[in-house]
Amino acid sequence: MTLAWVDGIPMGDTAAIEAAGIDTEDLGKRVLKMFLNHALRDGFFHADMHQGQSAGWTLGRDHCRLIFGIMGRIDAYTRRVYAEILMGFIRKDYRRVAEVHFEAGYVPADRGH
Q: How far is CA 20 from CA 10, 50, 89, in A?
A: 12, 21, 34
Of 48, 62, 75, 93, the catalytic one is 48
d(CA 40, CA 75): 9
Instruction: Give all strands of the β-sheet with 55-56 in edge-to-edge order.
Output: 9-10, 55-56, 63-64
Tell me, yes or no, if 26 is annotated catalytic: no
Contacts of 30 (CB under 8 A, 6+ apart): 63
Residues annotated as part of the active site: 48
